[in-house]
Amino acid sequence: MPRTARKTTAEVFQAVNDIGSTVPARGGTYWSGEPMHSKGDDDLDEVPEALAVATAAVARNAVHRARTLKNTEYPPCTSLAAKGALMPDNSLDPVDHSRTARQHAGETMKAGVNAPGLIATGVGVVAFFFGLAAFATGEPMFGTIGVVLAVLLIGGGMTWVVMNHRKAHDRQKDWHRDHPEVPYEPPTS
Protein backbone atom coordinates (compact mmCIF):
# COMPACT_ATOMS: atom_id res chain seq x y z
CA MET A 1 0.00 0.00 0.00
CA PRO A 2 1.68 3.25 -1.10
CA ARG A 3 2.10 6.02 1.45
CA THR A 4 0.34 9.23 0.56
CA ALA A 5 2.01 12.62 0.61
CA ARG A 6 -0.51 13.99 3.10
CA LYS A 7 -0.14 10.99 5.43
CA THR A 8 3.64 11.34 5.54
CA THR A 9 3.43 15.12 5.82
CA ALA A 10 0.96 14.78 8.71
CA GLU A 11 3.43 12.48 10.50
CA VAL A 12 6.22 15.01 9.96
CA PHE A 13 3.92 17.78 11.23
CA GLN A 14 3.26 15.71 14.35
CA ALA A 15 6.98 15.12 14.87
CA VAL A 16 7.67 18.85 14.62
CA ASN A 17 4.74 19.53 16.94
CA ASP A 18 6.15 17.05 19.46
CA ILE A 19 9.34 19.11 19.78
CA GLY A 20 7.36 22.10 20.95
CA SER A 21 6.22 23.90 17.82
CA THR A 22 2.74 24.79 16.69
CA VAL A 23 1.54 23.44 13.36
CA PRO A 24 -1.57 24.92 11.71
CA ALA A 25 -4.39 22.44 11.34
CA ARG A 26 -5.79 23.78 8.07
CA GLY A 27 -3.38 25.66 5.82
CA GLY A 28 -1.78 28.98 6.66
CA THR A 29 1.83 29.65 7.43
CA TYR A 30 4.35 28.40 9.90
CA TRP A 31 6.88 30.21 12.15
CA SER A 32 9.28 31.26 9.37
CA GLY A 33 6.46 32.25 7.05
CA GLU A 34 6.85 29.18 4.84
CA PRO A 35 3.46 28.31 3.29
CA MET A 36 2.12 24.85 4.09
CA HIS A 37 -1.24 24.76 2.27
CA SER A 38 -2.56 21.74 4.15
CA LYS A 39 -6.00 20.60 3.00
CA GLY A 40 -6.46 18.02 5.74
CA ASP A 41 -5.80 14.32 6.27
CA ASP A 42 -8.38 13.30 3.67
CA ASP A 43 -6.24 14.70 0.81
CA LEU A 44 -4.86 11.60 -0.91
CA ASP A 45 -2.21 13.27 -3.04
CA GLU A 46 0.23 10.51 -4.01
CA VAL A 47 2.48 12.71 -6.16
CA PRO A 48 6.09 12.32 -4.96
CA GLU A 49 6.84 15.94 -5.85
CA ALA A 50 4.10 17.13 -3.48
CA LEU A 51 5.60 15.02 -0.70
CA ALA A 52 9.05 16.42 -1.39
CA VAL A 53 7.82 20.04 -1.42
CA ALA A 54 5.79 19.63 1.78
CA THR A 55 8.58 17.77 3.59
CA ALA A 56 11.15 20.38 2.53
CA ALA A 57 8.89 23.17 3.81
CA VAL A 58 8.46 21.38 7.15
CA ALA A 59 12.22 20.80 7.40
CA ARG A 60 13.01 24.48 6.72
CA ASN A 61 10.47 25.55 9.31
CA ALA A 62 11.78 23.07 11.89
CA VAL A 63 15.33 24.37 11.39
CA HIS A 64 14.10 27.95 11.73
CA ARG A 65 12.19 27.09 14.93
CA ALA A 66 15.19 25.26 16.41
CA ARG A 67 17.46 28.25 15.72
CA THR A 68 14.90 30.60 17.25
CA LEU A 69 14.65 28.47 20.40
CA LYS A 70 18.43 28.12 20.63
CA ASN A 71 18.98 31.88 20.45
CA THR A 72 16.22 32.76 22.93
CA GLU A 73 17.29 33.60 26.46
CA TYR A 74 14.44 33.00 28.87
CA PRO A 75 14.21 34.64 32.28
CA PRO A 76 15.39 32.41 35.13
CA CYS A 77 12.92 30.06 36.76
CA THR A 78 11.15 31.90 39.55
CA SER A 79 10.39 29.01 41.84
CA LEU A 80 12.22 27.16 44.57
CA ALA A 81 11.42 23.98 42.67
CA ALA A 82 14.35 24.69 40.33
CA LYS A 83 16.62 24.43 43.38
CA GLY A 84 15.18 21.03 44.26
CA ALA A 85 12.72 22.20 46.91
CA LEU A 86 9.22 20.73 47.14
CA MET A 87 8.30 19.52 43.64
CA PRO A 88 10.83 19.06 40.81
CA ASP A 89 10.53 21.55 37.95
CA ASN A 90 12.72 20.64 35.02
CA SER A 91 11.77 23.55 32.77
CA LEU A 92 13.59 26.83 32.39
CA ASP A 93 10.44 28.78 31.67
CA PRO A 94 7.21 28.25 33.66
CA VAL A 95 5.00 29.29 30.72
CA ASP A 96 3.69 26.88 28.11
CA HIS A 97 4.27 29.12 25.07
CA SER A 98 2.69 26.69 22.62
CA ARG A 99 -0.69 27.07 24.36
CA THR A 100 -0.73 30.70 25.46
CA ALA A 101 1.12 33.95 25.01
CA ARG A 102 0.13 35.24 28.44
CA GLN A 103 2.91 35.75 30.93
CA HIS A 104 2.87 33.63 34.09
CA ALA A 105 0.24 31.29 32.63
CA GLY A 106 0.03 28.19 34.81
CA GLU A 107 2.51 29.58 37.30
CA THR A 108 0.29 28.87 40.31
CA MET A 109 -0.02 25.17 39.52
CA LYS A 110 3.46 24.55 38.10
CA ALA A 111 5.70 26.36 40.58
CA GLY A 112 6.30 24.00 43.51
CA VAL A 113 6.71 26.88 45.93
CA ASN A 114 2.93 27.43 45.68
CA ALA A 115 2.12 23.90 46.88
CA PRO A 116 1.59 24.82 50.58
CA GLY A 117 -0.83 27.59 49.58
CA LEU A 118 -2.76 25.34 47.22
CA ILE A 119 -2.95 22.53 49.79
CA ALA A 120 -4.12 24.93 52.51
CA THR A 121 -6.79 26.31 50.18
CA GLY A 122 -7.98 22.81 49.29
CA VAL A 123 -8.14 21.74 52.94
CA GLY A 124 -9.98 24.99 53.70
CA VAL A 125 -12.63 24.20 51.09
CA VAL A 126 -13.10 20.73 52.60
CA ALA A 127 -13.34 22.25 56.10
CA PHE A 128 -15.96 24.68 54.82
CA PHE A 129 -18.15 21.87 53.52
CA PHE A 130 -17.73 19.91 56.77
CA GLY A 131 -18.75 23.06 58.65
CA LEU A 132 -21.85 23.46 56.50
CA ALA A 133 -22.70 19.78 57.00
CA ALA A 134 -22.32 20.21 60.76
CA PHE A 135 -24.72 23.17 60.72
CA ALA A 136 -27.18 21.15 58.63
CA THR A 137 -27.13 18.26 61.12
CA GLY A 138 -27.71 20.53 64.11
CA GLU A 139 -24.14 20.74 65.44
CA PRO A 140 -23.48 24.50 65.63
CA MET A 141 -20.24 24.16 67.62
CA PHE A 142 -18.60 21.89 65.01
CA GLY A 143 -20.07 24.02 62.23
CA THR A 144 -18.51 27.17 63.67
CA ILE A 145 -15.15 25.44 64.09
CA GLY A 146 -15.27 24.16 60.49
CA VAL A 147 -16.20 27.53 58.98
CA VAL A 148 -13.64 29.48 61.04
CA LEU A 149 -10.96 26.94 60.15
CA ALA A 150 -12.00 27.19 56.49
CA VAL A 151 -11.73 30.99 56.50
CA LEU A 152 -8.27 30.83 58.08
CA LEU A 153 -6.97 28.12 55.73
CA ILE A 154 -8.39 29.64 52.55
CA GLY A 155 -7.20 33.12 53.53
CA GLY A 156 -3.73 31.86 54.43
CA GLY A 157 -3.44 29.73 51.30
CA MET A 158 -4.50 32.52 48.98
CA THR A 159 -2.15 34.95 50.73
CA TRP A 160 0.70 32.46 50.22
CA VAL A 161 -0.02 32.17 46.49
CA VAL A 162 -0.39 35.95 46.01
CA MET A 163 2.88 36.65 47.87
CA ASN A 164 4.76 34.18 45.67
CA HIS A 165 3.14 35.65 42.55
CA ARG A 166 4.38 39.11 43.58
CA LYS A 167 7.86 37.70 44.18
CA ALA A 168 7.80 36.24 40.67
CA HIS A 169 6.83 39.64 39.25
CA ASP A 170 9.65 41.30 41.19
CA ARG A 171 12.16 38.74 39.92
CA GLN A 172 10.93 39.30 36.37
CA LYS A 173 11.35 43.08 36.72
CA ASP A 174 14.85 42.58 38.14
CA TRP A 175 15.74 40.26 35.27
CA HIS A 176 14.54 42.78 32.69
CA ARG A 177 16.46 45.52 34.48
CA ASP A 178 19.62 43.39 34.12
CA HIS A 179 18.84 42.56 30.45
CA PRO A 180 17.71 45.85 28.85
CA GLU A 181 18.16 44.47 25.32
CA VAL A 182 15.15 42.17 25.78
CA PRO A 183 11.83 43.95 25.15
CA TYR A 184 9.73 44.28 28.29
CA GLU A 185 6.07 43.35 28.11
CA PRO A 186 3.86 44.59 30.92
CA PRO A 187 2.40 41.78 33.02
CA THR A 188 -1.03 40.46 32.07
CA SER A 189 -1.79 39.05 35.49
List the pLDDT tens digit at each of the 189 positions of the chain: 445 555 555 655 665 555 544 444 444 434 444 445 555 544 444 556 666 777 777 777 777 766 666 666 554 444 444 444 444 455 555 555 555 666 666 677 777 788 899 999 999 999 999 999 999 999 999 999 999 999 999 999 999 999 988 888 888 888 888 888 877 776 666
Domain count, the chain: 2
CB-based burial of residue 11 (10 Å sphere; 0-12 exposed, 13-18 middle, 19+ buried)? exposed
**CA 136 from centroid of its chain's CA atoms:** 41
Q: Are 62 and 95 in the same domain?
A: no
Q: Are 45 and 105 in the same domain?
A: no
Q: Is residue 153 part of a domain?
A: yes
pTM of the predicted protein model: 0.46
CA distance 39 to 6: 9
Q: Is residue 75 part of a domain?
A: no
